Amino acid sequence: MAFISKEIIDEIKSRNDIVDVISSYISLNDKNKALCPFHNDHSPSFSVHQDKQIYKCFSCGESGNVITFVQKITNSTFTEALKILADRSGIKLDVNIENKTNNAYSKYYEINETVNKYFKSTILSQNGLNAIKYLEERNISKEIINEFNIGLSLNNKLNPILKNKYEIKDLMDIDICKEINGKIYDTFQNRIIFPIIDENNNVIAFSGRKYLEEDLKDDTLPKYSNSKETIIFKKSGVFYNINNSLQNIKKSKEIIITEGFMDTIRMSSIGYKNVVAIMGTAFTKEHIEKILKWKVEKVILNLDQDNAGIQGTLVAGEELLKNNVRVEVIIFDDYKDSDDFISKKGKEAFDIAYNNKISFIDYKLRYLKSQRNLKDSVEISKYINEAIESLNKIDDDILIELKIKEISKEFDINESVIKNKLKNKEIKLVKQEIKEEKNIRYNKYDISELRILYLMLHHKDVILYFENHLGYLINPKKSSLAYKIIEFRNDYGYFDYGDFIDYISGNETLEETLKEVNKYPNKEEYTERELDEYINTIKEHSVKTRINALKKEMNETLDINKKIEIAKKIENINKEVLKW
């Protein structure tokens, strides 16, 4: 981690009020409380304390300051979170945020980055005037061109430049150029270029769209040509625009999936910042793994409205449901895709379509119905049987009941007939992403340690009292936390909970112990008598441990003088206890 002074860290924190920052990610109520974003919360247990500039969840024990919140909510490092907050508050933070790049592939990423810069500079040059005109006629502004790194390839101008710096073999390995009849040619020629960038901001591939008038008339040329699959580009796991949208996806816990680059760009341009595209209609297990990794709760499918798009939606929806992900679908029947729809009808019309999206099960039943002649009783029967088969695949009893009532009413068929056709299956319990922790039974020693630590964290006087009257704890992890609190106070001459969070950042053992302390139902107030009771309880454990060791030693020795000596030691220990 790059060194950043405490003064800079403090300035960044002071310029980013914790309530303002957290409320930009999650919805806080009037008392600055919310459902915890870090566990499966059912009632608001997440609380933000503006006066102390900290947050706490009294259910799962998560706590911290504005930096740790941004770290956890965006899955970023300490330095990355500082950079986010510095940028937000207009503070220049001169640190390099390194791409999470596989070093074995770094030379390929470097090549693609160089190529991408070339394409971008080309479209902004005199050579790009026709391409810019083509894009602007389709309402793609220069701002959008810049945001999505859209570029331009010329007629075999790239490889002569690159071969002076890179090996031709490396260029061919990632499909920047290719060999035909012994000659080297650029893979992309006379195309508007869309770079494909992964979630770590690595350029992994390119896609080129034809735009020249003579090429548009040539039906033998594909509309788009893509990089072939390479060592760094596997189409099955790629989301186009994930580099721009990932933070918004994590923040909203929702992802909109389209089929094409232009659909994604068009939706993003009217405010939908959590949108991505898959490379074609194929939705894979790699896509699902990423969606689950990002803790997405709802997927909104927005594939093309043609037959291939409909089939892709059905397959993707089924796979997502198997993984307990909520799925909804956007519908606009009279237009091929969202690019076409927004271009012709505008933002307001699309917003209406978005707000009227339907659940996946409704989408599937609607599709199944459209494939049947509902004037024919046999066809109706086939549809109902298909609908029942679809209902058998979901685990929501209430949704099943609602659909049974709808089908029964629509076709005037008894509900019991439909219910009897449903499989007699036990309702599966949906596995929680976050396992419910078993209630931990604490003994009096555990409780005393947790309370002492909590009071040390929130009352600086208790730190000194602990040092003077006890100075240790039983549990090694809790003892380490206590020593770290004292160390912070000694290093800086004061103690602040929010600053202490930064002090232990990256020490997983201390962070987990702190979480355990916060998870215990503590109260802020205390009395000296109460604190003495906790301290004496810890001492009692120490005394019992010493006495038990001495008794064991007494039982093991045959020397009568030794036994007398040990007995006196035990007596002296008991006398010391009476002085407490």
Mark 285-324 as b/e (b = at least 16 C-beta within 10 Å).
Answer: eebbebbeeeebeebbbbbbbeeebbebbbebbebbbeee
Identity (one letter) of the amino acid at 311?
Q
In 3D space, the residue among 529, 539, 515 whose CA is nearest the CA of residue 453 turns out to be 515
| Per-residue confidence (pLDDT) for residue 580, from 0 to 100 | 61
3-state secondary structure 385-453: HHHHHHHCCCCCHHHHHHHHHHHHHHHCCCHHHHHHHCCCCCCCCCCCCCCCCCCCCCCHHHHHHHHHH
Most confident of 295-309, 350-364, 493-507: 350-364
Report the DSSP beta bridge partners of residue 224.
209
- How many Å separate Cα 382 from the centre of its chain? 42
Q: What value does the mean pLDDT take over residues 324-334?
A: 89
| Across 91-95, 181-185, 417-421, 541-545, least confident range | 91-95
Its sign, for the CA torsion 278, 279, 285, 287, is: negative
Whether residue 286 contacts residue 244, with contact meaning beta carbons closer than 8 Å, is answered with no
User: Is the pLDDT reported for residue 212 higher than 60?
Assistant: yes
Q: Of 70-84, 377-391, 397-411, which gets the smallest average pLDDT?
A: 70-84
Please tell me whether residue 144 adopts helix, strand or coil conformation: helix
Bridge partner list, 484: none
What pLDDT does 99 receive? Answer: 53
**What does each C-alpha distance from 29 to 51, 418, 473 come to in angstroms?**
16, 44, 39
Mean pLDDT value across the chain:
88
Q: Which residue has the tokens 């009568």?
A: 560
The pLDDT value given to residue 339: 93
Q: Is 89 exposed, middle or buried (0-12, 13-18, 19+ CB in 10 A)?
A: middle
Whether 284 has a pLDDT exceeding 50, the answer reads yes
User: What does the pLDDT average to over 395-401?
Assistant: 85
Q: What digits encode the pLDDT tens for the residues 497-513?
A: 988 988 898 888 999 99
Write the single-letter amino acid at 209: R
* Angle, in degrees to the nearest 10, between helices 78-89 and 66-74: 110
Positive/negative CA dihedral, 562, 566, 572, 576: positive
State the DSSP code for 201.
S
Which of helix, strand or coil describes residue 327? strand
pLDDT digits (tens, 9 = 90+) for 428-480: 433 443 344 456 788 999 999 999 999 999 998 999 999 989 999 999 999 99
The proportion of the chain whose per-residue pLDDT surpasses 90, expressed as a percent, equals: 55
CB 522 within 8 A of CB 432: no
Residue 54: is it exposed, middle or buried by C-beta count within 10 angstroms (0-12/13-18/19+)?
buried
Residue 526 φ/ψ, nearest 5 degrees: -155, 165
Q: What is the pLDDT of residue 433?
A: 39
Spell 557-579 as b/e; 16+ CB within 10 A means b.
eeeeeeeeebeeeeeeeeeeeee
Burial class (CB in 10 A: 0-12, 13-18, 19+), 486: middle
Half-sphere exposure of 530 (CA within 13 A, CB side): 11
Q: Which tokens is 420 given?
A: 């009897």
The tokens 């237009």 sit on which residue?
335
**Sequence-distant (≥ 6) Cβ neighbours of residue 92 within 8 angstroms:** 86
- Averaged pLDDT for residues 98-120: 82
Q: 264-283 pLDDT, tens per residue?
A: 999 999 999 999 999 866 78
Phi, psi of 232 (to 5 degrees): -115, 0
Q: Is the pLDDT score of 341 beyond 90?
A: yes
The region of weakest confidence among 150-159, 171-180, 296-305, 559-568 is 559-568
Question: Could you tell me the CA-to-CA distances from 379 to 293, 382, 406 in Å, in that order?
Answer: 42, 5, 18
> Of residues 153 and 492, which shows the higher confidence score?
153
* pLDDT at residue 423 greater than cutoff 90: no
Q: Using alpha carbons only, what angle is made at residue 152 by residues 148 and 158, rounded to the nearest 5 degrees?
A: 125
Q: What is the pLDDT of residues 26-77, one digit of tens each?
A: 888 889 998 888 887 778 889 999 998 999 998 888 999 999 999 888 777 8
d(CA 31, CA 511): 26
Least confident among 146-160, 231-245, 288-302, 423-437: 423-437
Walk across the sheet containing 224-226 and list its strands.
Answer: 151-153, 191-197, 203-210, 224-226
Strands 239-240 and 224-226: unpaired
Closest-CA residue to 184 (of 160, 220, 149): 160
Give first-to-last CA distance, the chain, whole Å.
48
Strand runs labelled E in 117-253: 151-153, 177-180, 183-186, 191-197, 203-210, 224-226, 239-240
